[in-house]
Amino acid sequence: MKPTARLSDVGQSLWLDDITRELLDDGTLARYINDLSVTGLTSNPSIFDHAIAHSEKYDGEIRRMTARGYASEALFFELALEDLNRAAELFMPIHVATAGADGWVSLEVSPLLAYETEETTAEAIRLSRRANRSNLFVKIPGTTEGLPAIEAAIFAGVPVNVTLLFSPAQYAAAADAYMKGLERRVAAGLAPDVRSVASVFISRWDRAVAGKVPEALRNTLGVAVGKLSYKSYRDVLESDRWQRLANHGASAQRLLFASTSVKDDKAPDTLYVQALAAPNTVDTMPQATLAAFADHGKVDGVLPRDGGDGAAVLEQHRAAGIDVAALAARLQTEGAQAFVESWKDLLKAIDTKSRALN
């Protein structure tokens, strides 16, 4: 049995953190689904920037759409939705077989709106209606300003992938926003089965403290955060508040481990995937990490319900001078800023291509 299949057997969904037209056209994504147990897909501005800027496969569509008056952001969403609709169709059998628990693709709202609550809400609703796919998540950042937008989008019936979470506390705030949206639906007499995932980023923790902690702590902080986020996730699922929603027909917001590619060349390339195997969660990874895990990954067990040594490892980092809470806030802010820069690069690449092709 392949390592990816063993990961699926313990109950963790394996999603691809990438999308290109080549993946769709040459059958690679279909092969990942059939051979490597891939059951979903995520995207972000950086992924689309690379896909569109470095491929000629979008040129004909860019030429046609530009002639019809599309430009910049509007043109991007047309291109992105075309790719994601094709991917969503490939995942639809999985989506149906799992009663909506799996088989999802994700599209991000404009990162320029990360700190604009009302604009983010309106854009999330617009994109969801424009896509008209039952298995498309709209990604909304779990920033302070994003949390009310998450609640409002869920209340409006929009499936949400909460992104840019970096700590158990940030995850808990996202879970609270999700449940508030569902509770509003119950109070309004609406069905509360609106799906969501909460994406906690892992590898950026270790990159942020590289060279600042003792060698014994190298590449341990991300996994510790993942373990404690899993504990918080299980706490939510076992709470009376969630059980009341489940009794009304709500389905759990799944914990998703994002940024699970290794940034340290000296670390095993499957480090985070192996360490964060856990039932009823998702791990999304780029193609290189997927290939590495399929080739030589191992599943030696699953995350402990109580967070294992996560708290002890965080305390060791605090003793080494790392303010973990402050770092979580900084990583979220920097993540939002990085997505803004990628978004600007993406729109610039589209505008440059549009001018060149027309």
- pLDDT tens for each residue of 98-118: 999 999 999 999 988 888 899
* pLDDT above 80 (res 123): yes
- pLDDT tens for each residue of 129-149: 999 999 999 999 999 999 999
Average pLDDT, the chain: 95
d(CA 122, CA 153): 8
pTM of the model: 0.96
Q: Which two tokens stand for residue 34?
A: 């059939």
Average pLDDT over residues 32-57: 89
Band (pLDDT 50/70/90 cuts) for residue 50 is confident
Domains and CATH numbers, the chain: 3-357 (3.20.20.70)
Residue with the two structure tokens 């985070």: 272
Please indicate whether residue 2 is annotated as part of the active site: no
pLDDT value for 257? 98
Average pLDDT over residues 52-56: 81
What does each C-alpha distance from 345 to 50, 73, 221, 338 come to in angstroms? 10, 12, 31, 11
- pLDDT tens for each residue of 59-91: 888 899 888 988 888 999 999 999 999 999 999
**Pick from 221, 228, 225, 222: nearest CA to 319:** 221
pLDDT value for 106? 97
pLDDT value for 121? 94
Cβ atoms < 10 Å from Cβ of 352: 11
Active-site pick, 2, 57, 139, 227: 139
* pLDDT above 90 (res 51): no
Average pLDDT over residues 243-270: 97
pLDDT value for 325? 97
pLDDT value for 54? 78
Torsion of CA 153, 154, 160, 165, to 10 degrees: 90
d(CA 256, CA 198): 6
pLDDT value for 154? 98
* pLDDT above 90 (res 279): yes
pLDDT value for 349? 85
SS (H, E, C) the chain: CCHHHHHHHCCEEEEEECCCHHHHHCCHHHHHHHHHCEEEEECCHHHHHHHHHCCCCCHHHHHHHHHCCCCHHHHHHHHHHHHHHHHHHHHHHHHHHCCCCCCCEEEECCHHHCCCHHHHHHHHHHHHHHHCCCCEEEEEECCCCHHHHHHHHHHCCCCEEEEEECCHHHHHHHHHHHHHHHHHHHHCCCCCCCCEEEEEECHHHHHHHCCCCCHHHCCCHHHHHHHHHHHHHHHHHCCHHHHHHHHCCCCCCEEEEECCCCCCCCCCCCHHHHHCCCCCEEEEECHHHHHHHHHHCCCCCCCCCCCCCHHHHHHHHHHCCCCHHHHHHHHHHHHHHHHHHHHHHHHHHHHHHHHHHC
Residue with the two structure tokens 């902080």: 221
SS (H, E, C) 133-199: CCCEEEEEECCCCHHHHHHHHHHCCCCEEEEEECCHHHHHHHHHHHHHHHHHHHHCCCCCCCCEEEE
